[in-house]
Structure 1
Amino acid sequence: MKMDKGSGLAERGSPLSVAMAEDAARAIDMVAEAVRMRRLRLAYHPVVLAGRPGQIGFHEGLIRVLDPGGRVIPARDFVHAVESLELGREIDCAALAMGMDALARHPTLRLSVNMSARSLGWPRWTRLLRAGVARNPGIGQRLILEISEASAMTVPELLAGLIAELRPSGISFALDGFGAGAFALRHFRELSFDMMKVDAQFSRNIQTHPDNQVLMAAFLAIARQFDMLAVAQGVEQAAEAEWLAQLGMDCLQGYHFAAPKLIPEGLEAEGEAASAAATQRRQAAR
């Protein structure tokens, strides 16, 4: 049920529920304004090969919303509030458009873009995806669509149809944050994900955490059974990275390797060269 922050229902709630409703409303207003003013950016977080951590397998494009002063509004402050709204679809469209543009500008870039399963039936999102692939043949082979575990469970049948439709174009699909929700394991047979990204909670202190060790090994076995690449998220310590690599994880992601950047890791020189060329063109046109 949609609840206005000034409604009688909110007034009858506890002080905590009222505060939470008001916080959600403020977050929605800030994000809506940022979308209208196009204060959106992609930050690129590298995913490295577990056996060769100096080599980047691909980047994850993380949406960044900026306030009027240019400060980043963390996704955790708004993602749950907007995911079920039309605003969430607009953010997914913006992330996809920026991701497709980055892939077109950087021919060596392989990029994953986050999306909600609710956007699958959103006409504008679908048009953006199909137009981007048609405009740049081969770009689909460098695009990965990441769908959270919770989101995938909302419309598994629709998701299965999209995966089957887009797979011939080379697009890959990743199940994000696996283990954090209630994903039905039977859906692995039906959805044919290319990648399993295990939730960060299972990487933390795994070298000294027997429960996480058993669970991570089980997740890896599932990934192998269904021919999925296995990625451990949230790696923040060298000891965690070493343990996960020895276990046999394919890729690792986390602040131990790098923080998200506005220019993809390893492509900074390419970005600087493009910027210099653009400056020269502007000067020549004067």
Structure 2
Amino acid sequence: MAGPDLYAVPSASEPLDPLQAAVASRDKDVPTMVRSALAAGRTQLAFQPVMRPGGGTTPAFYEGLIRILDDGGRILPARHFMPDVEETAMGRDIDCASLRMGFEKLHANPSLRLAINMSARSIADGRWRQILRQGLAGGDLGNRLILEISEQSAMMLPEVVIRFMAEMQPRGVAFALDDFGAGLTAFRYLKDFFFDLAKLDKHFVRDIDTSPDNQVLSEALITVAHQFEMFVVAEGVETSGEAAILTELGVDCLQGYLYGVPKAGL
């Protein structure tokens, strides 16, 4: 089924959502909108808590999610622009902005542990590596930084990712395999990667309390991750029923709207 037409003109009674308004203001050119926001420094991180099952109200860590603001001040989540720019030079610019803001937040909050998303392509980007080197140069920031790489990105350049992880982990940096189970990871690579966490793909989490298929698949993925000594986070948890069955299946942490929406402040 085709997705919604982002460029369709809504009826008079139907307000523009932020993406439609931003796209219209930039002549339907998402890359231009993103380029303008990056040049003007209109970026921020939104922070979503990652919780331990039954672990009270203190998050185990937070994920910092990139947001851009269009020239009207509307905040746009990454899903609205990353597909258009992720494989371009602007994708590297976004990774640089995310990492820079992540280090700033770690400096400002000595008790914070923070996960920041990156693409495997950024490993070879000199600007991104410079931000990483400078951020790790002093203090314990490496011990509080988690770099998230999606299955798709990791499997594009597996040897590069493996070498980079081996280089960074002595500095204390942890790594999370995002979208685990999406279907692209060859299990033979898991013994060579150095992922500390596996984030269970949200498609397996959705309605897991009423879906025997999702329960079987999630249990298998959790077992595989634990076999390779990876801590398992379930993403996209929205109901207490989902949280209960995931806890029963053995996940180590839970993340989703049930525990908090991404917010600009901590």
Give the alignment's TM-score, normalised by structure 1.
Answer: 0.82
Greater Rg by CA:
1
Give the SS at the match of 1:132: helix
In the TM superposition, what is the alpha-carbon distance from 1:53 to its structure 2 partner?
4.9
Report the counterpart of residue 158 of structure 1 in structure 2: 160
- 2:223 pairs with one of 221, 231, 246: 221
Matched with 1:89 is: 92
Percent identity over paired residues: 48
Relative to the length of structure 2, the TM-score reads 0.88
Is 1:77 aligned with 2:74?
no
Structure 1 segment 58-69 matched on structure 2, within 5 A? 58-69=61-72
Secondary structure of 1:56's counterpart equals coil
Contact 2:117 2:149 in 1 (8 A): yes
Distance in structure 1 (CA, Å) of the matches to 2:252 and 2:164: 26
The amino acid that maps onto 1:139 is: L
Deviation at 1:54, TM superposition (A): 2.2
Contact in 1 for aligned 2:66/2:77 (Cα 8 Å): no
Q: How does 1:171-182 map to 2 (within 5 A)?
A: 171-182=173-184
Q: Name which of 186, 189, 194 aligns with 2:188.
A: 186
Which of residues 31, 35, 38 is equivalent to 1:35?
Answer: 38
* Structure 2 counterpart SS, 1:131: helix
Aligned equivalents of 2:136 and 2:224: distance in 1?
A: 31
In 1: Cα distance, 2:218 partner to 2:57 partner? 23
**Secondary structure at 2:187's aligned position in 1?**
coil
Higher helix proportion (structure 1 or 2): 1
Contact between 1:192 and 1:226, CA under 8 Å: does it hold in 2?
no
Task: Please give the secondary structure, in 1, of the residue aligned with 2:123.
Answer: helix
Give deviations 1:97-138, integer Å, cap 9, x for gaps.
Answer: 00001000000000000011110100010010011110x321
Q: 1:130 aligns with which of 121, 130, 133?
A: 133
Instruction: For residue 247 of structure 1, report the CA deviation from its aligned partner.
Output: 1.5
Question: Which residue of structure 2 lines up, in the alignment, with residue 112 of structure 1?
Answer: 115
| Shift of residue 181, structure 1, vs aligned partner | 3.5
| 254, 260, 263: which one aligns with 2:262 | 260
> Partner residue of 1:3?
none
1:183 to partner: Cα distance: 1.2
Residues 242 and 89 (structure 1 numbering): CA distance in 2 closer, same or farther, change over 3 Å? Answer: same
Note the C-alpha offset of 1:73.
1.9
Aligned length in residues: 245
Classify the secondary structure of the residue corresponding to 2:262: coil
> Which stretches of structure 1, 4 residues or longer, exceed 6 Å deviation after superposition?
none
